[in-house]
Chain A
Amino acid sequence: MTQVERHAYDVVVVGAGGAGLRAAIEARERGMRTAVICKSLFGKAHTVMAEGGIAASMGNVNSHDSWQVHFRDTMRGGKFLNQWRMAELHAKEAPDRVWELETWGALFDRTEDGRISQRNFGGHEYPRLAHVGDRTGLELIRTLQQKIVSLQQEDFAETGDYEAKLKVFQECTVTRVLKDDERSETGAPPDRRSGGKVAGVFGYVRESGRLFVIDAPAVVLATGGIGKSFKVTSNSWEYTGDGHALALLAGAPLINMEFIQFHPTGMVWPPSVKGILVTESVRGDGGVLRNSDGERFMFGYVPDVFKEKYAQSEEEADGWYTDPDNHRRPPELLPRDEVARAINSEVKAGRGTPHGGVFLDVSTRLPAEEIRRRLPSMHHQFKELADVDITAEAMEVGPTCHYMMGGVDVEPDTAAARGVPGLFAAGEVAGGMHGSNRLGGNSLSDLLVFGRRAGLSAAEYASGLGGTRPAAPEEQIDAAAAEALRPFAAGDSADEGPAENPYTLHQELQQVMNDLVGIIRRGPEMEQALERLAVLRERAQRVGVEGHRQFNPGWHLAVDLRNMLLVSECVARAALERTESRGGHTRDDHPGMDRGWRKVNLVCELTDQAQGADARKEALIGLRQRPTDPIRADLLALFDREELLKYLTDEELDR
């Protein structure tokens, strides 16, 4: 039996970004003893990087806005592959979630009449994003963090202990979701088909290397995305697909894993900052994209489905910023997938900048003072990191891996993972909401809406269990401990071959995903990627680390590699299977969008081989096609039949 630290809570939230903190607040307010576990320090989650804003149809700037319009925009952005019920809940509840932040102390930028100001963003028909300059994510995280502190202050006043009901375990990694399991008596490995319930989590403290178990009947995954599997990404080191992998390993399916958003504007120079995000607000506030010939090339890239909505000439586009009711939007504000592909094509055609991007210019569009006021952190970022003054010269930008649309297959209303009682998921780790492509600003609102719902459902589920709580069998804990510590023993036995360096493996993985399953995909390349991933997975079995368990980054990476490899396989398999182009999935060999494919979700699950300890060359991930849920009639009625015909098949429409 392994010696581990042991705690017990009602609800455990894995991840302390926007979704995780919102879930924890909800669970604690419903009376649950709640633990939050995060890999970084409290308040450092990747959500701080979000810049543009929170999309919510409050109608403060344009009173024509409503949840219906927001819903419509979201479905269009996702090319109708969105789980429609999630998109509906999201559009309806986002305003309340934003207003609630104000009651917790958030200070958004204001309109003339003192309301929350809202800005324009790609794909949103009206100005819709509540924002604070270009540091909205920081405001969101800080507000939620401070709300948690205020709840802890209440608990302190009552019990004398700040952490009596809500505790943040910072700098800890969760490596397994534990389940009760009938078959474990026999010593067989935990089996996803036995339908066990969630019993807690297993993890380690990064600082000390100590192992721990938290017994808890309800676990909310809120771990964010997977960007660190790609070489050029806007994501932080935490984004190693942990929640995606934890769910898979616990027996929960993932959907839509082929859809990855490449944000059109990441920094391209200097190399060390390549991929860092340049906010879409630059374009929302008037910034334009130009190629090396000085041409505003986006006018040539408006796809048919959006032709009526976007300006045809520079004059018309420029008029929109001041008079949106009588002008169509500039094409720079097309959904992100369109803009990213356009930039990619320009660079390929030899019209790129010296460092392989295109120009994003706001300096000729707004007075310097205005740029500094509206885009302070962009101004700062370019000045400090690239020696570029964005009030005087253009930025160089190119696509960067930004957001995973796919994730845990959840029940829309409860955020419960299908197939695993007690498991919930919210935010980027959950799939469905954004379909094949997410609109800017819909991420922060997603975190709040579904973070709250996940916390609520987890609380209801945990209290509904009463006194009978699932318990994880000891063998599962032993196996989890052995798995976590294996990198320290690598290379010890002669027949295994030499130990592998985790940093080297990680770099190779990033290169494979970037080159072979990146923004533009081809069948043979993805087949090659799958072969290379199988070899990497085999080598990863031998990953070894030096030193000891105290704050050892090599070990941490070795553990995270398992997750990145699993998730990368999902991406590659699903992307190979989907023979069409849609949103964040572009096939060179299947360039068209196919209405038939709209009816299909690709579901990734762990195969049986993957359960065995010696899973090597075999596929770990199995794929099946599942029909999407038919969209409710009153929601379909929000669109013209003509528009729907671009996405839905005739049979779907005639039903």
Chain B
Amino acid sequence: MTHTAHFKVWRGDTDGGDLRDYEVEVNDGEVVLDIIHRLQATQAADLAVRWNCKAGKCGSCSAEVNGRPRLMCMTRMSVFEPDETVTVTPLRAFPVIRDLVTDVSFNYDKARQVPAFVPPKGVPAGEYRMQQVDVERSQEFRKCIECFLCQDTCHVVRDHEENKAAFAGPRFLMRIAELDMHPLDAAADQGLVRAASAQEDHGLGYCNITKCCTEVCPEHIQITDNALIPLKERAIDRKYDPLVWLGSRIRRRKE
């Protein structure tokens, strides 16, 4: 089954741009990314788009389809009515480079600011022992494909450029939670209380648990319930436990 669909695709660059109209063929079983590729091959050879795996595994093809942040390779055309106009625009929270390609360096900068896993001292490689139940919590967060849809949708930064410096965004707050829940992470031995630092250094306080990030996550990770809320609880515990709080302050000052 084939029909002709009406697409509006944002074309432009750093100097601005607009929505362009395209009439394009759609076949059974296709996804939005297939249609974008067909446009490239037949009508707009220089239409810029990122993609890699075409199977929802790499997180490259993020864009907004009819205003909703989505992976283009996992958005089937059958979710639209045949006569519905499909509008494809670049992620709104990040600066446009060209067409559907945005500058996502914000996310790579934030990734660098989260202190890495600290291996436990005195446990040689090959001797790590962890129970499945204990790794499962962090494993859920490691399903993240870094599509940055959650980063794009979170209202803290979506239309608030000014919050970007102080706020790591759901993906990287979740990364802190992942390390915090890692059974063998030894950051605490170095004086780093991850949950407290999420609050103090990475802007956890900006999050008011609206769950919009969870809703758009293509991996169905329970970002808010399983990462952000527990992290907030732990941050508060840490803060109001005077001994822990004091300990972390003293160790920090020594650095």
Contact of A48 with B by CB under 8 A: yes
User: Which residue of chain A has its CB nearest to the CB of B78?
Assistant: A387
Whether the Cβ atoms of B51 and A237 lie closer than 8 Å is yes
Question: Which residues of chain B come closer than 8 Å to A501, judged between CB atoms?
Answer: 45
A108 vs B139: C-alpha distance when bound (angstroms): 8
The stretch among B126-134, B188-196, B205-213 that forms the contact with chain A is B126-134
Convert A275-290 into 0s and 1s, putting 1 for each residue whose CB lies closer than 8 angstroms to a CB of B: 0110000000000000
Question: Which residues of chain A come closer than 8 Å to B117, judged between CB atoms?
Answer: 104-105, 146, 150
Contact of A608 with B by CB under 8 A: no
CB distance from B104 to the nearest CB of A (A): 7
Contact of B143 with A by CB under 8 A: yes
Convert A234-276 into 0s and 1s, putting 1 for each residue whose CB lies closer than 8 angstroms to a CB of B: 0011100000000000000000000000000000011111001
Given contacts A44-B59, A107-B135, A503-B45, contact A152 B74 (CB under 8 A): no
Q: Which of B31, B41, B46 contacts A547 (CB 8 A)?
A: B46
Chain A residues within 8 Å of chain B by Cβ, number: 71
Whether the Cβ atoms of A272 and B31 lie closer than 8 Å is yes
Contact of A182 with B by CB under 8 A: no
Whether the Cβ atoms of A138 and B57 lie closer than 8 Å is yes
A76 vs B210: C-alpha distance when bound (angstroms): 56
Contact of B229 with A by CB under 8 A: no
The stretch among A22-30, A93-101, A477-485 that forms the contact with chain B is A93-101
CB distance from A87 to the nearest CB of B (A): 22
A502 vs B41: C-alpha distance when bound (angstroms): 9
Q: Which of A41, A381, A507, A550 contacts B56 (CB 8 A)?
A: A381
Contact of B252 with A by CB under 8 A: no
Convert B80-106 into 0s and 1s, putting 1 for each residue whose CB lies closer than 8 angstroms to a CB of A: 000000000000000001110100100
Which residues B138-192 have CB closer than 8 A to chain A?
A: 138-139, 142-146, 179, 182, 185
Question: Which residues of chain A come closer than 8 Å to B98, judged between CB atoms?
Answer: 207, 550-551
CB distance from A302 to the nearest CB of B (A): 31
Which residues A381-396 have CB closer than 8 A to chain B?
A: 381, 384-386
CB distance from A37 to the nearest CB of B (A): 16
User: Which residue of chain B has its CB nearest to the CB of A101?
Assistant: B125
The stretch among B17-25, B108-116, B234-242 that forms the contact with chain A is B108-116
A48 vs B58: C-alpha distance when bound (angstroms): 6
A43 vs B116: C-alpha distance when bound (angstroms): 16
Q: Which of B13, B46, B74, B142 contacts A384 (CB 8 A)?
A: B74
Whether the Cβ atoms of A236 and B131 lie closer than 8 Å is no
Q: Which of B40, B53, B60, B116 contacts A105 (CB 8 A)?
A: B116
Which residues A130-180 have CB closer than 8 A to chain B?
A: 132-133, 135, 138-139, 142, 146-147, 149-150, 152-153, 156, 162
Question: Which residues of chain B come closer than 8 Å to A142, judged between CB atoms?
Answer: 142, 144
CB distance from B2 to the nearest CB of A (A): 11
Whether the Cβ atoms of A273 and B54 lie closer than 8 Å is yes
A380 vs B218: C-alpha distance when bound (angstroms): 10
CB distance from A623 to the nearest CB of B (A): 33
Categorize the interface residue count of chain B.
35 or more
Convert A25-59 into 0s and 1s, putting 1 for each residue whose CB lies closer than 8 angstroms to a CB of B: 00000000000000011111010110000000010
CB distance from A144 to the nearest CB of B (A): 12
Question: Which residues of chain A come closer than 8 Å to B53, judged between CB atoms?
Answer: 44, 46, 48-49, 236
Contact of B201 with A by CB under 8 A: no
The stretch among A110-118, A454-462, A587-595 that forms the contact with chain B is A110-118
Contact of A102 with B by CB under 8 A: yes
Whether the Cβ atoms of A48 and B29 lie closer than 8 Å is no
A110 vs B48: C-alpha distance when bound (angstroms): 42
Question: Which residues of chain B come closer than 8 Å to A643, judged between CB atoms?
Answer: none
Given contacts A43-B146, A102-B128, contact A49 B46 (CB under 8 A): no
* Most chain B beta-carbon contacts within 10 A, residue among A46, A138, A153, A502: A138
Whether the Cβ atoms of B52 and A553 lie closer than 8 Å is no
Question: Which residues of chain B come closer than 8 Å to A502, judged between CB atoms?
Answer: 45
Whether the Cβ atoms of A46 and B52 lie closer than 8 Å is yes
Contact of B76 with A by CB under 8 A: yes
User: Which residue of chain B has its CB nearest to the CB of A107?
Assistant: B135
Question: Which residues of chain B come closer than 8 Å to A110, judged between CB atoms?
Answer: 130-132, 135
Question: Which residues of chain A come closer than 8 Å to B74, judged between CB atoms?
Answer: 384-385
Contact of B55 with A by CB under 8 A: yes
CB distance from B71 to the nearest CB of A (A): 9
User: Which residue of chain A has its CB nearest to the CB of B34?
Assistant: A272
User: Which residue of chain A has its CB nearest to the CB of B113?
Assistant: A153
Contact of B50 with A by CB under 8 A: yes
Whether the Cβ atoms of A384 and B126 lie closer than 8 Å is no
Question: Which residues of chain A come closer than 8 Å to B30, judged between CB atoms?
Answer: 270-272
A46 vs B135: C-alpha distance when bound (angstroms): 25
A99 vs B126: C-alpha distance when bound (angstroms): 5
User: Which residue of chain A has its CB nearest to the CB of B137?
Assistant: A107
A502 vs B179: C-alpha distance when bound (angstroms): 46
A555 vs B119: C-alpha distance when bound (angstroms): 45
A11 vs B42: C-alpha distance when bound (angstroms): 41
Q: Which of A269, A551, A554 contacts B97 (CB 8 A)?
A: A551
Whether the Cβ atoms of A107 and B29 lie closer than 8 Å is no
Whether the Cβ atoms of A236 and B112 lie closer than 8 Å is no
CB distance from A281 to the nearest CB of B (A): 15
Contact of A326 with B by CB under 8 A: no
A511 vs B213: C-alpha distance when bound (angstroms): 42
A548 vs B116: C-alpha distance when bound (angstroms): 40
Whether the Cβ atoms of B60 and A40 lie closer than 8 Å is yes
Contact of A109 with B by CB under 8 A: yes
Contact of A546 with B by CB under 8 A: yes
Whether the Cβ atoms of A162 and B112 lie closer than 8 Å is yes
Whether the Cβ atoms of A44 and B58 lie closer than 8 Å is yes
Given contacts A102-B128, A271-B27, contact A503 B56 (CB under 8 A): no
Whether the Cβ atoms of B52 and A386 lie closer than 8 Å is no
A464 vs B51: C-alpha distance when bound (angstroms): 40
* Most chain A beta-carbon contacts within 10 A, residue among B57, B97, B132: B57
Given contacts A272-B31, A551-B48, contact A138 B129 (CB under 8 A): no
Question: Which residues of chain B come closer than 8 Å to A381, judged between CB atoms?
Answer: 55-56
Which residues A67-122 have CB closer than 8 A to chain B?
A: 95-96, 99-100, 102-105, 107-110, 113-115, 117
User: Which residue of chain B has its CB nearest to the CB of A47?
Assistant: B58
Question: Which residues of chain A come closer than 8 Å to B185, judged between CB atoms?
Answer: 105
User: Which residue of chain A has its CB nearest to the CB of B59?
Assistant: A44
Whether the Cβ atoms of B58 and A276 lie closer than 8 Å is no
User: Which residue of chain B has its CB nearest to the CB of A145?
Assistant: B111
Given contacts A104-B117, A272-B31, A273-B29, contact A546 B46 (CB under 8 A): yes
Which residues A445-499 have CB closer than 8 A to chain B?
A: none
User: Which residue of chain A has its CB nearest to the CB of B99?
Assistant: A551
A563 vs B74: C-alpha distance when bound (angstroms): 30
Question: Which residues of chain A come closer than 8 Å to B13, judged between CB atoms?
Answer: 550
Known: A44-B60, A96-B126, A107-B135. 19 other contacts (CB 8 A): A44-B52, A49-B53, A95-B126, A104-B119, A107-B139, A110-B135, A132-B142, A133-B139, A138-B57, A138-B142, A146-B116, A150-B116, A153-B116, A236-B54, A502-B45, A504-B41, A545-B46, A548-B46, A552-B48
What are 19 A-B interface contacts by the 8 Å CB criterion?
Answer: A44-B58, A44-B59, A46-B52, A49-B55, A102-B128, A103-B128, A107-B138, A108-B135, A109-B139, A147-B116, A150-B117, A153-B112, A270-B28, A272-B27, A381-B55, A385-B31, A504-B41, A553-B45, A554-B45
Task: Enumerate chain A interface residues (CB-CB to B < 8 A).
Answer: 40-44, 46, 48-49, 58, 95-96, 99-100, 102-105, 107-110, 113-115, 117, 132-133, 135, 138-139, 142, 146-147, 149-150, 152-153, 156, 162, 207, 236-238, 269-273, 276-277, 377, 380-381, 384-386, 501-504, 507, 545-548, 550-555
Task: Enumerate chain B interface residues (CB-CB to A < 8 A).
Answer: 13, 27-31, 34, 40-41, 45-60, 74, 76, 97-99, 101, 104, 108, 111-112, 115-117, 119, 125-126, 128-132, 135, 138-139, 142-146, 179, 182, 185
Closest 9 CB pairs of A and B: A270-B29, A547-B46, A150-B116, A105-B117, A114-B129, A554-B45, A551-B48, A99-B125, A99-B126
